[in-house]
A and B are shown apart, each in its own frame.
Chain A
């Protein structure tokens, strides 16, 4: 079990270093979306500060979603998944490794870019730290859910837009609690309740989603 996990993880990291556009493009997309909002709404610092939590989280949802479409596609096309299923290898560590790698490629860079977002949208330090907290808990949840969407739509003909249609409604609770936490912090209020709810959702997803992903992969391959 451990070896499958580590091997898949190592292979995915190697692929990431060789195909940089796979994970760089969603990040650029994220930055561009962030830039579009002030351009569309007008550069009013107070307004921007007010809607910053929502903007950041919507941009994050979309960019993770965009990146996750390719999550299992390559393995599906070149037959790795079929071999895994045919060999009756445990899919669970493979799925976990895939999700971990996808978080490292999409969630972690968002976390590293968060000071930049705070600068662009004029968040103060309290709101900034709240945003870091929600990103730490929320991005793994994003990766889990989008992995489920990617697995479900794996062999579908119109993968991309279908993935968005299927998964975006499931993101709603995350969006609500994450942006509420940042907003509360901006008002100088406590936000540990929101973080706790996000943590609870992450625990539930962590327990359930890998099994659903495993099942979805099998039915797409078999």
Chain B
């Protein structure tokens, strides 16, 4: 069924494919992001309640969505790496983890900057905030584990196991944190009734979400290509490729 995928497990074929994807995705991602942010920050009407400060949503929400999207793609790569023993899938985990961690950090930071004027505080132990913070810890754990071994191959495999364990744990953590929060505090400042968003605000937001997703893909292509080159540096095809570049 997946026979047509087999050639792409070969690093060289995948390297070339990723190069083609990257050439399309990278400019497309930046273009969409420019359109989305300029539209969102400059040309949407201010919110009736939050004024202009709601505009951070155009960065905050895409980053938060793709921080989770990146973790899921990492877990899928980990699954492929462990079940079919495909090396490039292991390398993909290393390519995705730092990007996902940065998305998580952006989501947390913009969330704090948004919370300060709206909720009057940089940080509350709200369920969503807490699970995003824990997601950041999970990312950092994967990155730390991957770089902790003198043999890179061991680190790659260990990170795959941890990513998969983490994805099993993530829903458990999410719901336990949600439950923990509702036990401890009722409707106080964190009560955040989501207004149904006006179309004039929705479109730039959607564009930003798509843009960050495309950019994530492009960055993964780039990082995975670098990773393939590093792992395969002793192979003839890499030498040949390097000579062609020079």
Q: Which residues of A contact B (CB under 8 A)?
A: 148, 152-153, 155-158, 162, 165-166, 168-170, 172-173, 176-177, 180, 197, 201, 204, 208, 212, 215-216, 219-220
Asked if B165 lies at the interface with its beta carbon under 8 angstroms from chain A, I say: yes
Contact A219 B154 (CB under 8 A): yes
Contact A153 B176 (CB under 8 A): no
Residues of chain B within 8 A of A157, CB atoms compared? 148-150
Asked if B185 lies at the interface with its beta carbon under 8 angstroms from chain A, I say: no
Residue-wise interface mask of B (7-32) relative to A, using a CB-CB cutoff of 8 A (1 in contact, 0 not): 00000000000000000000000000
Known contacts A166-B141, A169-B137, A212-B165; is A180 also within 8 Å of B158 by CB? Answer: no
In the docked arrangement, what's the CA distance between A75 and B177, Å?
Answer: 37
Residues of chain A within 8 A of B155, CB atoms compared? 156
Contact B138 A169 (CB under 8 A): yes
Residue-wise interface mask of B (143-187) relative to A, using a CB-CB cutoff of 8 A (1 in contact, 0 not): 011001111001101100110111011001100110110010000
Residues of chain B within 8 A of A208, CB atoms compared? 168
Contact A172 B154 (CB under 8 A): no
User: Count of chain B residues with Cβ under 8 Å from any Cβ of A?
Assistant: 30
Contact A165 B176 (CB under 8 A): no
In the docked arrangement, what's the CA distance between A166 and B138, Å?
Answer: 7
Asked if B82 lies at the interface with its beta carbon under 8 angstroms from chain A, I say: yes
Contact A180 B148 (CB under 8 A): no
Contact B179 A156 (CB under 8 A): no
Known contacts A148-B165, A216-B161; is A176 also within 8 Å of B179 by CB? Answer: yes
> Could you name 21 residue pairs across A and B whose Cβ atoms are closer than 8 Å?
A152-B158, A153-B148, A155-B149, A155-B151, A156-B148, A157-B148, A157-B150, A158-B148, A162-B148, A166-B144, A166-B145, A169-B138, A170-B166, A173-B172, A176-B176, A180-B180, A180-B183, A197-B176, A208-B168, A215-B161, A220-B158
